[in-house]
Amino acid sequence: MEFNTIKINSTFTSPFESTPKGDNENSSFRKPLSLWPGMYHSPVTAALWETRSKIFESLIDPPKDAPPQSELLTRVPSQSRTTILYNFSTDYILREQYRDPWNEVRIGKLLEDLDALAGTISVKHCSDDDSITRPLLLVTASVDKMVLKRTISVDGDLKMAGAVTWVGRSSIEVQLEVTQLSNDGADTSESIALTANFIFVARDSKTGKAAPVNRLSPETETEKLLYEEADARNRMKKLKRGESKGVENGEKDRLDSLLAEGRIFCDMPALANRDSILLRDTRLENSLICQPQQRNIHGRIFGGFLMHRAFELAFSTAYTFAGLMPHFLEVDHVDFLRPVDVGDFLRFKSCVLYTEFDNAEQPLINVEVVAHVTRPELRSSEVSNTFYFTFTVRSEAKANDNNGFKIRKVVPATEEEARRILERMDADSQVSA
């Protein structure tokens, strides 16, 4: 078994009971509540946070004046590399926890596990092995890209692995891969089912300000290539942030073109194109009060839980829009703009931003989900997260459709909607270029 491999079972020992006798016959260990997050989470997330909390156990109650890390260390990617094994072939209960109606893995639950694994990897990289210094607070800043390359069955075992691939001054990029194992337990590059890049930022746990992280020294040629690619992406992001966002003539023409058909829907609905639909008519929404069971090891609402809920709404949006069962393809750049706390009133709002028909066999449905933290007593609402999901329609659903399958074109009714569509189109085209 690989170094740093974590085996997952469908059940786990309560942190409030004695340590299992197999580990230490004479010990009786009660984990502090502060290091055990909400019990809502999957067994994978629970096992990962158990691993992460062990790193912090020597810092459960550090002095108020505990100093920050004084000297940055140089780590290699293999030191943070962590692997998760899902024994679906032998663990029936675990398989049932992850199975969807098509005998595939539930993508929403997988998103939770990916975020938890990426966070644990970041904590490993930032650990300074010093019980005197105060720990860093690591938060998910964004998900750069997540692509489903092939469907993931629950009939075969699964491996999820990742490591730190790049670091900046206070930011960390973690690359993850999900692999479907063959019957003999082997895996190859052809069996990679999903890839994802997570970006974390480090904050000083006392001041809340950006904190420097340990350096990274890639060893192999592959690690060096991944580092260079990540470095180029981050330089490009900084360049784009500094660019002016003035409206050029070309963009104005595109806006007018998008709005032209929408105005017909609004002003002359009887004459509108029946193969199109207004963006506002594709919307769905749900809401919830954030509960203690959904918190992470830092006491805030777990980012993976937010991605899970956003995915479920996006899937439903694509389903009601297409009229056939959707097939998930990718998540593109999730922004985590502000933390979400226990007790917050969270509203998820979704819509189909636009559709693509370049490939007649695989039309694309691009869904936006925006999470708002709403505070009725303050009459305020702030965006906490934005998510962009891409779906197509399952080939078996199209084959069984007797009503003539057709996906509509989405058109905006307002200039603000048109701008959102164009921004997303441009972002997608830059990624695929």
Catalogue all structural domains in the chain, each as residue range(s) with its CATH number.
5-241 (3.10.129.10), 248-432 (3.10.129.10)
CA distances to 6, 203, 363 from 425, in Å: 39, 33, 15
User: Residues, the chain, total?
Assistant: 433
As a whole number, mean pLDDT of residues 318-337 equals 90
Q: What span, in angstroms and rounded, lies between the C-alpha atoms of 68 and 204?
A: 8
Mean pLDDT score of the chain: 82
Which amino acid would we find at residue 316? S
As a whole number, mean pLDDT of residues 234-242 equals 73
Least confident residue range of 28-42, 156-170, 376-390, 417-431? 28-42
Cross-strand bridge partners of residue 392? 327
Give the contacts of 220 (CB within 8 A, at least 6 positions apart).
none
Long-range interactions of 261-265: CB distance < 8 A, separation 24+: 261/411, 262/411, 262/412, 262/413, 262/414, 262/417, 262/418, 263/413, 265/411, 265/413
Q: pLDDT value at position 217?
A: 94
278-303 exposure pattern, b = at least 16 Cβ within 10 A, e = fewer: bbeebebeeeeebeeebbbbeebbbb
338-363 exposure pattern, b = at least 16 Cβ within 10 A, e = fewer: eebeeebebbbbbbbbbbbeeeeeeb
Q: pLDDT value at position 370?
A: 95
Q: pLDDT value at position 258?
A: 83
Q: Is the predicted pLDDT of residue 148 greater than 90, yes or no?
A: yes
* CA-based torsion, 106, 86, 96, 16: positive or negative: negative
Q: Which two tokens stand for residue 307?
A: 């991605």
Q: Which residue in this structure is represented by tokens 């607070």?
A: 137
pTM over 0.85? The answer is no
Q: Is the predicted pLDDT of residue 15 greater than 80, yes or no?
A: no
Q: How far, rounded to the nearest angstrom, does the alpha carbon of residue 425 sit from its chain's CA centroid?
A: 20
Q: pLDDT value at position 225?
A: 95
CA angle at 45 for the pair 151 and 52, rounded to the nearest 5°? 130
Q: How far, rounded to the nearest angstrom, does the alpha carbon of residue 345 sit from its chain's CA centroid?
A: 21
Q: Decide if 370 contacts 317 (C-beta within 8 A).
A: no
User: Helices in 177-275 by DSSP H: which ranges?
Assistant: 221-242, 249-267
The closest of 410, 324, 335, 336 to 367, measured between CA atoms, is 410
Q: Which residue in this structure is represented by tokens 């964004």?
A: 142
Q: What percent of the chain has pLDDT over 90?
A: 41
Give the contacts of 211 (CB within 8 A, at least 6 positions apart).
68, 69, 136, 170, 202, 203, 204
